[in-house]
Structure 1
Amino acid sequence: MLEKRRGRQVPELTARVVAAAFPKGTLAVWLRDALGEVFSDELFAEAFPADGRPAISPGALAAVSVLQYADNLSDRQAAEAVRARMDWKYLLGLELTDPGFDHSVLSDFRARLAEHGLEEKIFEAVLEAAAARGLLRPRGRQRTDSTKVLADVRLLNRMEFVGEVLRTALEALAAAHPSWLEEVLAGQEERWLRRYGERIDSWHGDLPGADREQWLRQVGEDGFFLLEKIEDAKAPAWLPLIPALAALRRCWDEQYLRDEHGVQAREGAQLPPGAQRMASPHDPQARYGVKRGQGWVGYTLHVTETCEADAPRLITDVATGTAADGDDSAALPGIHQRLERRGLLPAEHLLDSGYVTAANLVEAAGTRGVVLIGPARPITAAAADGRFTHEDFRIDDQARTAVCPGGQTSISWVPAHSARGVPVIQVRFAAAGCRACPLRQRCTTADNPQWGRTLTLRHPRQRAALQQRRHEQDTPAWRHRYRPRAGIEATIHQLTSRTGLRRSRYHGLQRTHLGHCLAAAAVNLIRIHAWEHGIPPDPTRRTHLSRLLGKCA
């Protein structure tokens, strides 16, 4: 049951002491005085029962959670701040002698938000407060970029990984059904304890078990032994529902093969792609991703913010995906959908080339009326090798034909789908004409013995949008229009440096996204506070060399 909080006044002594100690105020004092109860208890009512013992006000916990990210505090430090900091007591309407609450309350509060799908409630409450003050305008200009977020796990090599997955499953069984596990391992206790009694990464030097192949095979056999016992009809039916055991089953399906020759570790092409494999038993949703040659285990964060000259730059959307989601363009439709639901859809959206695809250019403009301002990826591979590109072919969509640079006319025009499921058109040329063509070495490399060369095209509207963007992005006017996009880097830096967002504090995609929403809400409040107090953003840093040579240029 919710504790009643609405209308609670700041105690007189707390108000007098805070006014004397902070004559210019603080973020917490301003939040109380200027914005009032931004986080009302009613926002979180569905996460709390209607009866029972009164709970600590969820609105108060929301305010504490946002300030916690604003100052990059742990749960213990945030609870200590409620006990010790006068301005926090002022925000919450507490007496100076109030002891506050235990730090575990914050974790329980986040768990309730995640359980009931309320991860974005706090973030959206700040956006509504900003809109009420005239600081957010629909159909303006916004920009988006992405950054990596490291999972709160250690990167394990393969020997450590499979051993730790099995150890974690055994640990969960020992806690959930100790008598059953004791019966299953009867007579083998010493061997299993020696292998899995401690964390696998706690060993120094070589892992026990002779060489890599022998260790992987032995751990694989132990894992299959345990899985057989769990899936036996005599075992409790609820055992496979334990998350650590579900992770064990998935990991063994990915990592091992078992046939008449016994158990062997999968190698090379037998393994699923790295982006699809589980990377840690402690955060099963974290994935290994690579971007610009850098690899990490964790998640990807997409940040969208306003970029108007006469208003503060406020974050309007945060999207969290796994590190395996390396294609930024796939996140854009969801970003636009959420912005439209909040009434904050921009007229112009500044993006880097990772988001700009033919499908997104057409869909954003045609369905939502959003103009994407970002460079399309150039056709570099073919041009660098001196080969022909799509623009060298004469395409007639009405006649459904194409004429190659050698003068050959296509013989087939077939709708199809690319490897990513994108609708395309496959144009095929006669094999006889392609074999005799003197320009064969410069032509497309897609070859079929039956049909000859094949040209894969996007649909007309997408192809036209992509060609138009490639032509206009080289003009000075377009580059000037695109220049403000670079400012999003400062926001990502503020998120990672001030709120500690570079590494997730929690395990799992849902709770990691909750952390991102809290961090974005904190940055928005910091920026609204600075805007209303006339504090300008820090200027862009320049190196001594750039300043020196800039004068001479």
Structure 2
Amino acid sequence: MMGRRRAPAGPEAWVVCRELIPAGSVFAFLAEHRRALFPPQAFADMYAPVNGRPSVPPDLLATVVVLQALHGLSDEEAVAALRFDLRWKAACGLGLYDQGFDPSLLTYFRRRLARSSRPDRIFETVRTVIEQTGVLAGRNRRALDSAVLLDAVATQDTITQLIAAIRRVARQVPGATAIVAARCHAHDYADPGKPRIAWDDEQAKAALVSGLVTDALTLLDQLAGRDLDEAAAGAVGLLALIAGQDVEPADGSDGTDGRWRIARRTAPDRVISTVDPEARHIHKSAQQREDGYKGHLAVEPETGLFTAVALRPGVGAQHHEAAVAPDLLADERGPLQILADAAYAAAELRADLTAAGHRLLIKPPALKPAVVGGFTLDDFVIDTGADTVTCPAGHTVPLSAPAGRYQQRRATFTGLCADCPLHDRCTTAKTGRILTIRPHHDLQAAARHQAATDPAWQDDYRRWRPMVERAVAWLVARGNRRLPYRGTHANDRWLHHRAAALNLRRLVNLGLTYLNNTWTLIPTIP
């Protein structure tokens, strides 16, 4: 049952200590307007109407969640601040002698939010405040970007993952403990320590890998065909994935003799930890690799307000920046100026946003010539209407009909390149260059031309696109690049809470107040 506000223990902190709390701070704002921001009815659907013991009031928990996300604190640290910090007591409407509550209540509150029909209601509440103030009225720019957010667990090597996955199956699958004890002998899986081998002995490590993989395959074979519940099936599936992603038969073996080795490659969707199976290796560039998730952001660049956020695993086409961008813009009304880097330059996204009436300042990716310093696609005259392509030497060939999964078209210059004086600047193919033309070629070519030649495009991009980096810096400040939870859903809730807290702080700095039952901005006079 939803809790109600109780009388504070002792004098109310805000009444007694008002002069000690900085005016214009988030603490002072929440002390004054907390009940208007988080009215009890906003959380009523999360609680049974009459059953159960009354819980801590949800507006108090929501206020603590906002302050916790703003300052990057754990549950224990947030509750300690609530107990000992006068600013937190004032913001939450507590008395000087209030003891707060158990940290586990924050976990229960987040679970209630996650299971409700509106799991992101705290972010949506602040977004409603933004709409009422009109601070974004007339500001029709949105900058899109992503940031790598580090996972909350240690990345595990192949040996550690195999042992942990076998242990998980033993714990969660009925009867698996007996199978492990009777048939799996490469390691004592009841021993919490590491295998007792000479880790600088390559032969010993190779024998351990072979033994662990054999144990995993034996266990999977013994459990094949069993009717398992969701948790047990997940543990078995994770073991099968771990046993196959990082190993391959040893030289001269097909695996049937039990000889395996760590694979000399990296699986494209590699699980990096059995503790958080959804975390992934993320490449922001060819040289920079991190482990965790990607936070996707839509920001109004002038105010720095987050208009939408989303957290996704860092790999897979469905989690790429261009795939997530439509979700970030789904609640926008009217045409916008969209600013983004080359990660958002996919042809399908550009076509969809153009059709929706948006003005795009999305940086096109650089074309790679077939020969270093040679001709690129834009050096050819490609007429998709006439279905012809003319090369820099003046040879014209027809375009093929669309074919294949991606409906690509080809222009084949076979027989025309061997004696061409521009051959060495065009191709290394002996039979002649073959040009691949993808769908939406004209749209992409026009975008590249505009970005290279239009001064207005260049000025707007240079002025407004870098502003999103300011919002990213706010997001990851105070150690908040490291995520606090495991799994996509829990961390996605955290990202929404973090963005809501930052938006609220930004609005307070702009003069947010509540007058005549309406949120409004009254800028302070310096």
Q: TM-score, normalised by structure 2?
A: 0.84
Match of 2:237 among 211, 232, 246: 246
Distance across 2 between alignment mates of 1:245 and 1:142: 44
Measure how far apart 1:299 and its partner are: 0.8
Go from structure 1 to structure 2 and tell me whether the alpha carbon gap of 1:114 and 1:246 turns closer, same or farther (over 3 Å shift).
farther
Q: Within 5 Å, which residues of 2 pair with 1:273-284? A: 273-284=266-277
Match of 2:361 among 363, 373, 395: 373
Measure how far apart 1:49 and its partner are: 3.9
Q: Within 5 Å, which residues of 2 pair with 1:334-345? A: 334-341=324-331, 343=332
1:364 counterpart residue number: 353
Go from structure 1 to structure 2 and tell me whether the alpha carbon gap of 1:319 and 1:344 turns closer, same or farther (over 3 Å shift).
farther
Measure how far apart 1:152 and its partner are: 1.2
Report if the CA contact (8 A) 2:144-2:325 is conserved. no
2:448 counterpart residue number: 467
Distance across 2 between alignment mates of 1:378 and 1:231: 50
Go from structure 1 to structure 2 and tell me whether the alpha carbon gap of 1:224 and 1:100 turns closer, same or farther (over 3 Å shift).
same
Secondary structure in structure 1 of the residue aligned to 2:321? helix
Distance across 1 between alignment mates of 2:317 and 2:383: 34
Amino acid at match of 2:240: R
Report if the CA contact (8 A) 2:220-2:240 is conserved. yes
Measure how far apart 1:390 and its partner are: 2.2
Report if the CA contact (8 A) 1:151-1:507 is conserved. yes
Secondary structure in structure 1 of the residue aligned to 2:37? coil
Amino acid at match of 1:491: A
Measure how far apart 1:314 and its partner are: 1.0
Measure how far apart 1:291 and its partner are: 1.9
Q: Which deviates further from its counterpart, 91-100 or 370-379?
A: 91-100
Measure how far apart 1:30 and its partner are: 0.7
What number of residue pairs does the alignment pair up? 508
Match of 1:519 among 491, 495, 498: 498
Distance across 2 between alignment mates of 1:74 and 1:197: 31
Q: Deviations over 1:231-275 (max 9, x none)?
A: 355xx6338635333311222233456867234446657x6x533
Q: TM-score, normalised by structure 1?
A: 0.80
1:547 counterpart residue number: none
Q: Deviations over 1:456-510 (max 9, x none)?
A: 244354244323334335x376235532322222221222123x32111111111
2:415 counterpart residue number: 432
2:98 counterpart residue number: 98
Distance across 1 between alignment mates of 2:469 and 2:484: 22
Go from structure 1 to structure 2 and tell me whether the alpha carbon gap of 1:472 and 1:422 turns closer, same or farther (over 3 Å shift).
farther
Unpaired segments ≥5 residues, structure 1: 537-553
Distance across 1 between alignment mates of 2:460 and 2:225: 67
Match of 2:425 among 442, 452, 460: 442
| 2:339 is equivalent to residue 350 of structure 1 | yes
Go from structure 1 to structure 2 and tell me whether the alpha carbon gap of 1:452 and 1:316 turns closer, same or farther (over 3 Å shift).
closer
Measure how far apart 1:26 and its partner are: 4.1
Q: Deviations over 1:159-197 (max 9, x none)?
A: 333233323433x33xx74xx3453345679x5773552
Match of 1:532 among 511, 521, 525: 511
Unpaired segments ≥5 residues, structure 2: 513-522
Go from structure 1 to structure 2 and tell me whether the alpha carbon gap of 1:358 and 1:113 turns closer, same or farther (over 3 Å shift).
same
Distance across 2 between alignment mates of 1:203 and 1:74: 36
Go from structure 1 to structure 2 and tell me whether the alpha carbon gap of 1:468 and 1:432 turns closer, same or farther (over 3 Å shift).
closer
| 2:283 is equivalent to residue 290 of structure 1 | yes
Amino acid at match of 1:106: L
Secondary structure in structure 1 of the residue aligned to 2:11? helix
Secondary structure in structure 2 of the residue aligned to 1:501? coil
Go from structure 1 to structure 2 and tell me whether the alpha carbon gap of 1:102 and 1:445 turns closer, same or farther (over 3 Å shift).
farther
1:331 counterpart residue number: 321
Go from structure 1 to structure 2 and tell me whether the alpha carbon gap of 1:509 and 1:182 turns closer, same or farther (over 3 Å shift).
closer
| 2:217 is equivalent to residue 224 of structure 1 | yes
Go from structure 1 to structure 2 and tell me whether the alpha carbon gap of 1:242 and 1:505 turns closer, same or farther (over 3 Å shift).
farther
Distance across 2 between alignment mates of 1:23 and 1:391: 59
Secondary structure in structure 2 of the residue aligned to 1:432? coil
Q: Deviations over 1:94-115 (max 9, x none)?
A: 3433332210111222233334
Distance across 2 between alignment mates of 1:55 and 1:395: 68
Go from structure 1 to structure 2 and tell me whether the alpha carbon gap of 1:444 and 1:10 turns closer, same or farther (over 3 Å shift).
farther
Amino acid at match of 1:347: L
2:77 counterpart residue number: 77
Go from structure 1 to structure 2 and tell me whether the alpha carbon gap of 1:376 and 1:186 turns closer, same or farther (over 3 Å shift).
closer
Distance across 1 between alignment mates of 2:102 and 2:186: 38
Measure how far apart 1:69 and its partner are: 1.5
Secondary structure in structure 1 of the residue aligned to 2:397? coil
Measure how far apart 1:217 and its partner are: 0.9
Secondary structure in structure 1 of the residue aligned to 2:343? coil
Report if the CA contact (8 A) 1:139-1:344 is conserved. no
Amino acid at match of 2:149: V
Distance across 1 between alignment mates of 2:82 and 2:347: 51
| 2:378 is equivalent to residue 398 of structure 1 | no
Distance across 2 between alignment mates of 1:353 and 1:3: 49
Report if the CA contact (8 A) 2:389-2:397 is conserved. yes
Distance across 1 between alignment mates of 2:45 and 2:247: 44
Measure how far apart 1:10 and its partner are: 7.7
Cα RMSD (Å): 3.5
2:434 counterpart residue number: 453
Amino acid at match of 2:313: T
Distance across 2 between alignment mates of 1:72 and 1:10: 27
Q: Which deviates further from its counterpart, 64-73 or 180-189?
A: 180-189
2:51 counterpart residue number: 52
Distance across 2 between alignment mates of 1:113 and 1:204: 47
Measure how far apart 1:439 and its partner are: 3.2
Measure how far apart 1:143 and its partner are: 1.6
2:517 counterpart residue number: none
Higher helix residue share: 1
Measure how far apart 1:221 and its partner are: 1.3
Go from structure 1 to structure 2 and tell me whether the alpha carbon gap of 1:160 and 1:481 turns closer, same or farther (over 3 Å shift).
closer
1:148 counterpart residue number: 148
Report if the CA contact (8 A) 1:142-1:346 is conserved. no
Amino acid at match of 1:252: A
2:300 counterpart residue number: 306
Measure how far apart 1:295 and its partner are: 1.1
Report if the CA contact (8 A) 2:10-2:97 is conserved. no
